């Protein structure tokens, strides 16, 4: 019997709403995006379970509830220019692309970036720009950004990303050690001062790069 992905996606969203996500725009965006296309075909039946899944290259696609929480934390209105660090499967970028004006996303692993581009194009999400490189340094040529989302755990808050956040902007990033992190929401006031809010505990793959963890040999 073939899985009905529409029903599975609705059940996923019912669970996310039950766990406290309330932003209607985020809920509507995630209700439309076909998450099963962002994972390997063998994993499609698990795509709408509230769990992270492997996508190859020792990377993962975040669990849907985490995607919803992080996206909600940015408080997007539709006009923003958003930077994502860690393209991965492209699913988070797809959610962002339906909620803001432009997405700039960086992935250090070429094969993942190329695959994400194909899936995003198949969804008609042409407002997503992908760069292959060190995401921990951000994308200075396109800065500043109204919002920044980091989908990998950093050992400390990268100064380059804080610098590239526009006044009035928000950044969400997991920071901690290799075993566990805390989700931080960074907000920059109009005068450039920065405030940090500590939220939930979490565990992400490592942010590898100049301002992250060193690449493993």
Please indicate whether residue 62 is annotated as part of the active site.
yes
Query: Which candidate in 31, 49, 52, 62 is catalytic?
Result: 62
Structure tokens at 112: 């993942």
- Which strand (E) or helix (H) includes residue 116? helix 110-122
How far is residue 164 from each of residues 47, 134, 167, measured CA to CA in Å?
A: 33, 15, 9
Q: How far apart are CA 175 and CA 158, in angstroms?
A: 10
Could you tell me whether strands 81-85 and 102-107 are parallel, antiparallel, or unpaired per DSSP bridges? Answer: parallel
- Which strand (E) or helix (H) includes residue 28? helix 24-32
Q: Catalytic positions, please?
A: 62
């Amino acid at each position: 019997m073939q899985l009905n992905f529409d029903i599975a996606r609705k059940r996923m969203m019912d669970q996310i709403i039950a766990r406290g996500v309330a932003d209607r725009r985020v809920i509507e965006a995630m209700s439309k995006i076909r998450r099963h296309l962002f994972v390997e075909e063998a994993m499609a039946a698990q795509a709408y379970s509230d769990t992270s899944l492997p996508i190859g290259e020792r990377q993962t696609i975040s669990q849907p509830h985490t995607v919803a929480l992080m996206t909600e934390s940015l408080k997007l209105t539709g006009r923003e220019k958003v930077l994502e660090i860690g393209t991965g499967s492209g699913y988070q970028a797809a959610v962002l692309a339906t909620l803001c004006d432009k997405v700039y996303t960086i992935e250090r692993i070429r094969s993942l970036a190329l695959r994400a581009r194909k899936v995003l194009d198949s969804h008609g999400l042409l407002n997503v720009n992908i760069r292959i490189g060190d995401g921990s340094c951000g994308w200075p040529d396109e800065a500043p950004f109204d919002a920044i989302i980091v989908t990998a755990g950093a050992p400390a808050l990268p100064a380059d990303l804080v610098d590239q956040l526009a006044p009035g902007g928000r950044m969400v990033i997991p920071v901690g050690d290799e075993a566990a992190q805390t989700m931080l929401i960074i907000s920059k006031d109009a005068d450039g001062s920065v405030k940090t809010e500590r939220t939930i505990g979490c565990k992400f793959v490592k942010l590898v790069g100049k301002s992250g963890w060193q690449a493993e040999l």
